[in-house]
Amino acid sequence: AGNHPKDLSWQNLLAGPLGDMAGRYQFVMTQPHQDFGSLQPGGEASAAMRKAIDSLPFVKSGNAIAMITGPVQLSDEEFSTVAHGMGFGLLTSLVLVAAWLVLAVRSMRVIVPILITLVIGLLLTTGFAAIAVGKLNLISVAFAVLFVGIAVDFAIQFSVRFRGQRQVSGAAMTPEDALAETGRETGHQILVAALATAAGFLAFVPTNFVGVAQLGLIAGIGMIIAFLCTMTLLPALLHLFRARLSRGMPGFTRLAPADHFLRRYRKPVLAFFGILAVTGLALIPRLSFDADPLHTKNPDTEGMRAIHLLEQDPRASPYDGEVVVPNLKIAAERAKQFEALPSVSSVMWLGMFVPENQTEKLAMIQDTASILLPTLVGQEVQPAPDANALRASAASAASKLG
């Protein structure tokens, strides 16, 4: 009527609401061949299926929409998301670190050595990961961003102290003497910070969650590597690049009034943060744990969009479970128990496919059949005879009479 023709569903026309009992979706189950040497083992199979799907006439016409989902598709999308996110995150972290270094040290002769130290430390940590664990997973691969974000702090501490070195009299020092003095002043400080951070990461190692355990091991040893690079490689690079000391006072001199404010009003400031800490402690019971692994995936991928569509229909929802019991009596009892749970949408069991009171119903069907069958099943009517048939019949009758 609206000049938009649509195919007529004879199933819905004849069966009415019964046609919708099976749900709106049709499923095609596949077992794709996976290439586990690739970052996306099912990538080629998914591409082949997508090509075949797009060639279907009812998909081209827009009468049907086909989507690919399942464990293989979701895993491939997760690996793709992690790979893209890690590359983008690592590049972004390096750019942001470079920007902060410009604000902190304000000298390319210092910034470049710090960045070189970070890159070499990251490569050394990656080499340790190759020897210690062999393969990275979705969680342990995050060590790269963690290393850059934390290790740069060690380098900034060393470089800022180096740039601000002065003799006791206030006279300028030579860069060589400034490097040696900075090493003596900051070595134990950075070591304590590195050991504390490494201990925090290494605390993950005893867990049975392999991804978290490997991340803790790699990141923990990475902090030790970062300390060694900061105390050995960074001073050598600063000397090689002929880094110079700062002419003025180090740091942000315009923020000096903030230091005086904090010293003068330290008790109210501490009280304010104490109140915040108590408030955070009181809010802990409101914090819940989401155990659904699907909520950790990218919701905009094809596989997750298909999952969300299925979730809207209880008959096709992926959140289902199966229970095997010894007999039908126990199954009927369990079905009633499950149906009473508010978290259960529907329960299906073997007994629901067997009609009740079959003896009475079969008798009723037999009575109905005796009345309706003669009208529904017509008698076979022979076609009208032609002249040849009439002559043959007359001849046959005459022969019998004679």
* Region 89-103 average pLDDT: 80
Q: How many Cα atoms occupy the beta-carbon half-sphere of 289 within 13 Å?
A: 1
Contacts of 213 (CB under 8 A, 6+ apart): 204, 205, 206, 207
* Residue type present at position 34: Q
- When pLDDT is cut at 50, 70 and 90, the band that residue 5 belongs to is low
**Alpha helix (H) ranges present in 207-265?**
210-228, 234-240, 256-264
Please compute the mean of the pLDDT values over residues 275-292 and round it to a whole number: 89
Alpha-carbon gap, residue 217 to 128, rounded angstroms: 10
Asked whether 227 and 190 are in contact (CB, 8 A), the reply is yes
CA 387 to chain centre: 82
* For residue 73, pLDDT beyond 70: yes
Q: Tell me the two tokens of residue 354.
A: 């067997």
pLDDT band at 16 (very low <50, low <70, confident <90, very high): low
Average pLDDT for 344-348: 86
Higher local confidence (pLDDT), 62 or 53: 53
If you ran DSSP here, which 8-state letter would residue 379 be given? P
Place of tokens 């008790």: 267
Nearest to 338 by CA among 349, 326, 327, 329: 349
The percentage of residues in the chain with a pLDDT greater than 90, rounded to a whole number, is 25
Task: Specify the residue for token string 């390319």.
Answer: 108
Cβ-in-10-Å burial (0-12, 13-18, 19+) of 163 comes to: buried
**Residues in Cβ contact with 294 at an 8 Å cutoff, skipping those fewer than 6 apart:** 74, 304, 307
Nearest one of 69, 81, 75, 63 to 310, comparing CA atoms: 69
Task: Select the highest-mean-pLDDT range: 17-31, 170-184, 227-241, 382-396.
Answer: 227-241
CB atoms within 10 A of CB 72: 20
The CA distance from 16 to 382, in Å, is: 37
DSSP class per residue in 133-175: TSS--TTGGGHHHHHHHHHHHHHHHHHHHHHT---TTS----H
Stretch 201-220: mean pLDDT, rounded?
90
In 63-107, where does DSSP find H-type helix? 71-104
Please report, for residues 12, 15, 355, 356, the alpha-carbon distance to residue 21 in angstroms, rounded to integers and kept in the order given.
Answer: 11, 10, 17, 20
User: Strands, E, within 317-368: which ranges?
Assistant: none
Query: Are the C-beta atoms of 347 and 339 separated by less than 8 Å?
Result: yes
Q: pLDDT tens, 243-265?
A: 888 766 655 677 788 888 888 99
pLDDT of residue 190: 92
Chain centre to alpha carbon of residue 125: 25
58 Cβ neighbours under 8 A, 6+ residues apart: 64
∠ Cα 258 264 269 (to 5°): 75
Residue 209 has pLDDT above 80, yes or no: yes
Report pLDDT for 122. 92
Where exactly are the structural domains of the chain? 10-68, 86-251, 324-377
Give residue-wise pLDDT tens across range 125-143. 999 999 988 877 777 778 8
How many residues comprise the chain? Answer: 402
pLDDT at res. 233: 94
CB 234 within 8 A of CB 118: no
CATH code for the part of the protein at 86-251: 1.20.1640.10
CA gap 361, 370 in Å, rounded: 14
Nearest to 136 by CA among 79, 73, 208, 90: 79
Q: Which of 211, 205, 106, 223 is nearest to 162 (CA)?
A: 106
